[in-house]
Chain A
């Protein structure tokens, strides 16, 4: 019954990748806000590099003479050019799809089918910034991102890439029942629970979500199933959420000796 629903793609900003080894996993796709911050960081870095070279050029010009100042202003323009057209590609190739700004925000560029970024594609997506930037401030790029389910700007579409989030996450914590079930409470439950695997799974999922729910909502959700279980086992249902916790405790205690 739940099967067809499970196969549907969730309406979410994740992209499913299937690797050549048939491993499937999901990447959260990076939205405009994060990418704008990363872009600003990269802009600041580029500006800082240019500023440092500019100061050196200026000092050189004052100290030695016009010939040097012209030489260095030529150099400065070349550096500006490199920063403008190659900065992103150089970093993305060296750091596997990341620039310093992207790294700071845990972003990475990968191809849409999950393969790592190729040099040509990186070059292409960054050249297309010239089109995405039009008419000013990445307006075209933002509109394209808003229209696309994977937040791709035009450059990403041409190069077949997307930007994903690789934030480190923590392992889910172990489940604790608070306060711990007393032997008296447990003794009221039957030794063998007349519950299917799916039902036990649902109970566990509910208990893990409990922390994030308000008390009223918690009670409401628990009350949808607890009375059914209680009547099946012929016990009294005083506190629905507590009953579910106890059922889970009994189920895992029965499993443990194995």
Chain B
């Protein structure tokens, strides 16, 4: 039986070599071929040493070897790199599939958003006092003022990009919050969907009541198909997350949550991409001086495209497997 000092004396050179290889690069695939196979061999030898030392040696040596094994493991099995094909198949196949699979959550989040939205419009149009109780009047008037000018002359390039930047932040923030707060058993998603639906509806109604309905309509119709859908999808992902925490089907809550994680990731990443598209449209197309009929037809085209995408993208051709 060898003592600890003898083990260290015999193996230390290998450990140091592995340590050097591991600290030379963040991931081993940045190294040359011989170094990689050498590192793999050293790692395997180290795992043997670890078993031996755990039985015989002092905690500090075991801790050293544990640490080295951990670092070598991280280096050998680097993080999954970003791959365009994988991302592409997510967008063309997995995202629409995931949404179809979770259609009921999408329907629920749509209801939670659109019903308050309709209530908001009605309130702002017919009961303005109630509307100004809910949202501050100064804000509502400010919005009406903003849309009063219309977009016939368009805005300058610079304003466009400033607005695009603003919308990216605002809407992505809304969508991601709708999603993330779903962790609180879905309640956060419910709250944010209702809240945002109500305020968007109310603003639209108020601006319309002030007589600028045409302006806000032609403005919102361009990016709406992407942006509102993306917010609804993010909300659906949040609801899915909350649902998996409540209905666990015999798993632990965490296990049930992990089970649903792949779908949730697909939905949220897809929603994020849609929000980016929406932001581009919102910053540069929606405020442009194009005549209203053109904008409405483009909006109709966008809606058809988005709907067709979610209905048909990623379906198996025929029944063939």
Determine chain B's interface SS by DSSP, over half rule.
helix
Task: Judge if A77 is at the interface, Cβ distance under 8 Å.
Answer: yes
In the complex with contacts A78-B165, A171-B15, A93-B61 CB distance below 8 A = no
User: What residue of chain A has the Cβ atom nearest to residue B19's Cβ?
Assistant: A168
Residues of A within 8 A of B70 (CB): 17, 25-27, 164, 166
Residue from A67, A119, A164 whose CB has the most chain B CB atoms within 10 Å: A119
Within the complex, which residue of B23, B58, B164, B266 is in contact with A78, where a contact is CB–CB below 8 Å?
B164
- Give complex CA distance A221, B108 in Å: 67
Task: Judge if B269 is at the interface, Cβ distance under 8 Å.
Answer: yes
- Give complex CA distance A108, B22 in Å: 14
Residues of B within 8 A of A252 (CB): 3, 5
Determine if A25 and B60 form an interchain contact, defined as CB atoms under 8 angstroms apart: no
Interface residues of A in 169-206 (CB under 8 A from B): 169-172, 174-175, 197, 200-201, 204-205
Closest-CB distance, A61 to chain B (whole angstroms): 10
Task: Judge if A134 is at the interface, Cβ distance under 8 Å.
Answer: yes
Task: Judge if B69 is at the interface, Cβ distance under 8 Å.
Answer: yes
Closest-CB distance, B7 to chain A (whole angstroms): 10
In the complex with contacts A124-B265, A127-B176, A172-B60, A116-B161 CB distance below 8 A = no
Within the complex, which residue of B15, B47, B166, B265 is in contact with A123, where a contact is CB–CB below 8 Å?
B265
Within the complex, which residue of A67, A77, A154, A255 is in contact with B165, where a contact is CB–CB below 8 Å?
A77
Using C-beta atoms within 8 Å of the partner chain, give the interface range for chain A: 35 or more
- Give complex CA distance A169, B285 in Å: 57
Task: Judge if A75 is at the interface, Cβ distance under 8 Å.
Answer: yes
Q: Which of B128-136, B177-185, B201-209, B310-318 contacts A (4 or more CB under 8 A)?
A: B177-185
- Give complex CA distance A130, B44 in Å: 41
Task: Judge if B172 is at the interface, Cβ distance under 8 Å.
Answer: yes
Determine chain A's interface SS by DSSP, over half rule.
helix
Within the complex, which residue of A71, A129, A171 is in contact with B180, where a contact is CB–CB below 8 Å?
A129
Residues of B within 8 A of A223 (CB): none
Determine if A97 and B79 form an interchain contact, defined as CB atoms under 8 angstroms apart: yes
User: What residue of chain A has the Cβ atom nearest to residue B4's Cβ?
Assistant: A204
Interface string of B132-160 (1 = CB under 8 A from A): 00000000000000000000000011111
Residues of B within 8 A of A118 (CB): 79-80
Q: How many A-B residue pairs have CB under 8 A?
A: 197
User: What residue of chain A has the Cβ atom nearest to residue B58's Cβ?
Assistant: A208
Task: Judge if B283 is at the interface, Cβ distance under 8 Å.
Answer: yes
In the complex with contacts A77-B168, A121-B261, A204-B3 CB distance below 8 A = yes
User: What residue of chain A has the Cβ atom nearest to residue B47's Cβ?
Assistant: A23
Residues of A within 8 A of B5 (CB): 174-175, 252
In the complex with contacts A67-B158, A157-B254, A131-B265 CB distance below 8 A = no
- Give complex CA distance A37, B261 in Å: 29
Closest-CB distance, A56 to chain B (whole angstroms): 15
Determine if B67 and A127 form an interchain contact, defined as CB atoms under 8 angstroms apart: no
Determine if B4 and A208 form an interchain contact, defined as CB atoms under 8 angstroms apart: yes
Task: Judge if A58 is at the interface, Cβ distance under 8 Å.
Answer: no
Determine if A119 and B67 form an interchain contact, defined as CB atoms under 8 angstroms apart: no
Determine if A160 and B74 form an interchain contact, defined as CB atoms under 8 angstroms apart: no
Residues of A within 8 A of B68 (CB): 169
User: What residue of chain A has the Cβ atom nearest to residue B56's Cβ?
Assistant: A201
In the complex with contacts A77-B166, A158-B257, A172-B61, A128-B183 CB distance below 8 A = yes
Residues of A within 8 A of B8 (CB): 171-172, 174
Residues of B within 8 A of A208 (CB): 4, 58, 60
- Give complex CA distance A121, B269 in Å: 11
User: What residue of chain A has the Cβ atom nearest to residue B255's Cβ?
Assistant: A160
Determine if B165 and A73 form an interchain contact, defined as CB atoms under 8 angstroms apart: yes
In the complex with contacts A96-B74, A124-B265, A175-B4, A77-B82 CB distance below 8 A = no
Within the complex, which residue of B57, B75, B268 is in contact with A124, where a contact is CB–CB below 8 Å?
B268
Determine if A158 and B183 form an interchain contact, defined as CB atoms under 8 angstroms apart: yes
Question: Which residues of chain B have a CB within 8 Å of any CB of chain A?
Answer: 1-6, 8-9, 12, 15, 19, 23, 26-27, 44, 47, 50-51, 56-58, 60-61, 63-71, 73-75, 77-82, 156-166, 168-169, 172, 176-177, 179-184, 188, 241, 254, 257-258, 261-262, 264-266, 268-269, 272, 283
Known: A85-B272, A96-B26. 4 other contacts (CB 8 A): A71-B161, A74-B160, A74-B163, A74-B166
Complex A-B: 17 CB contacts under 8 Å: A25-B47, A25-B66, A81-B168, A81-B172, A85-B272, A108-B74, A110-B74, A116-B80, A158-B241, A166-B71, A167-B67, A169-B67, A172-B4, A175-B5, A201-B56, A255-B2, A255-B3
